Amino acid sequence: MSGFEIVPVQNKRGLRQFIDLPYSLYRDDPYWVPQLRIAQKELFDQNKHPFYAHAEMQPFLALRDGSPIGRIAAIRDRNYIEFHDEQAGFFGFFECVNEPPVAAALLGAARRWLVERGAQVVRGPVNPSTNYECAVLVEGFDSSPQIMMPYNPPYYDALIRGAGLRKAKDLYAYYGTTDTANIGRIERVAARSAEANGIRIRPIRMKAFDKDVELVWNVYNAAWSRNWGFVPVTHDEFKFMAHDMKAILEPELVLLGEIRGKVVGFALALPNINQALKHTNGRLLPLGLLKILYHKRSIDSVRILVLGVVEEYRTAGVAAGFYAELFRQAVRLGYRGGELSWILEDNTLMNRSAKALGSKRYKTYRIYEWN
C-alpha cells in the first residue's frame, strides 16, 4: 500500500476526476447502477443548481500517483442550520477503496473544513441533503438499488465506523409484489374514509403541471417538517427537482389528496428507471439514449419515495387512499413489484403500514455522525 494525498477540488479537471471515480470503482460490480454523467455534472454545478443558493460544498479527492482512489464532499447547509437551530455540517458523495487510512483521511478533511466554519456535529452521507440520495447501504447487497437510492460495497460501514463515526439513524427499504400485497383491508379503509371525510385522490395534471407542483411544494414542507433530518426545500429547488422527474414519471402514480378542495397530502411513485440506466455506463451518447428507450419497456417495478399528509389530516384516511390508488394504478400499468423507501427506523406507524401491505424489509441504510 503506497502513499496518497488528500486535495481539495479546485478546478474542472479535479471535478471531472471526482465525478468519474465511481464509474471505475464499480466497473465490475454487477449490482451498481451508473447514474447519467450529465445529471451528476448538473448536481455539482454550484453556479446553476438551486441547492447552492443556501449551501456551500467543498469536494476533496484522495490521489495516489495522480489517480483518484477516494472522494468526499463537505457540505454546509444554511437552511438546515436555521430550521433546526443546530450548528451541523454534512459530508456526502463518499467513495473509497478498501483502505482505512484513506477513508479516515477523507472524512477528517471534510470534518476539518466544516469545523472551521462552525460545525459542532457532522453527519452523513447526504448527497447533498436528505431530499436527495443519502446514507450508506449496510444490509441488502444482493440486488441493485431502486431509483434515487444509493449503493456501495459492504466494507463502507467498517471504514466509516473505523474513522470514529457512530450510527445516527438507520433507514429501511421494503419490497413487495402484486402477488404478496395485502391490499384488501387498505382498500376498505380508504373507501370508508373517502365517504366519511370527503377525500378525493387525483393524479397530477400534466397540463397544469407547474400549478400542481406549487400546491405540492407547500404540502411537502408542511407534511415532513417534523421528520428527523428534514431540510425545507426552497421553491426554486422543488421546481428544479420536479422538472427533472417529469420525463420519467407516470401521472397516475403522482397523487394529490384533497379534502374540500384543499390539498392535504401527496404521494409519489416513480418507475425504477435504474433498470434501464444499468445498461448505459452513465452516457447518453452515442448509444445510451437508445439503450434507455429499449430497456425502459422492461421496467417492472416502482419506488414509492414520497407519501405524506399534513398533520391536521393524518387520521382522516388520506394515506390509505394513496396506498390503494397507487396499487391499483401500478397493477393497471403492468408493474409487478414496488419498493417503499426510505422509512426511518423509529417511524413506528410507517414501518407497521409497510408490513401490513405485505412488504418485507430487504435493505437497511445508515447515516452516521461525529461530534
DSSP for 16-40, written as a single string: HHHHHHHHHHTTT-TT--PPPHHHH
Q: Are residues 197 and 251 in the same domain?
A: yes
Show which of 149, 172, 195 is a domain's final residue.
172
Q: Domain for residue 371, yes or no? A: no
Q: Are residues 181 and 116 in the same domain?
A: no
Q: Are residues 255 and 158 in the same domain?
A: no
Q: Are residues 191 and 67 in the same domain?
A: no
pLDDT of residue 284: 84
pLDDT of residue 226: 86
Q: Are residues 151 and 18 in the same domain?
A: yes
pLDDT of residue 294: 83
- 3-class SS string, 293-329: HHHHCCCCEEEEEEEEECHHHCCCCHHHHHHHHHHHH
Count of the separate structural domains present in the chain: 2
pLDDT of residue 2: 75
Q: Are residues 159 and 209 in the same domain?
A: no
Q: Are residues 190 and 79 in the same domain?
A: no
Show which of 142, 172, 202 is a domain's final residue.
172
Q: Contact at 8 Å (CB) between 306 and 284? A: no
Q: What CATH number corresponds to the domain at position 114?
A: 3.40.630.30
Task: List per-block mean pLDDT (blocks of 10 residues) for the chain, which spans 371 residues.
Answer: 91 97 96 95 96 98 97 98 97 98 98 98 98 97 98 98 98 94 88 93 97 95 91 96 94 97 96 95 82 89 96 92 95 96 95 93 97 77
Q: Could you give the C-alpha distances from 242 to 130, 209, 237, 299, 355, in angstroms and in order?
A: 16, 9, 9, 21, 29
Q: Are residues 153 and 69 in the same domain?
A: yes
In sequence order, what are the beta bridge partners of 136?
366
Q: Domain for residue 299, yes or no? A: yes
Q: Domain for residue 360, yes or no? A: yes
Q: Are residues 244 and 350 in the same domain?
A: yes
Q: Domain for residue 369, yes or no? A: no
Q: Are residues 165 and 203 in the same domain?
A: no
pLDDT of residue 287: 77
Show which of 154, 172, 190 is a domain's final residue.
172
Q: Domain for residue 72, yes or no? A: yes
Domain of 133 in residue numbering reads as: 5-172
Q: Domain for residue 37, yes or no? A: yes
Q: Are residues 70 and 180 in the same domain?
A: no
Is residue 18 packed enough to be buried (19+ CB in 10 Å), middle (13-18) or exposed (0-12)?
A: buried
pLDDT of residue 1: 60
Q: Domain for residue 370, yes or no? A: no
Q: Contact at 8 Å (CB) between 6 and 109? A: yes
Q: Are residues 133 and 242 in the same domain?
A: no
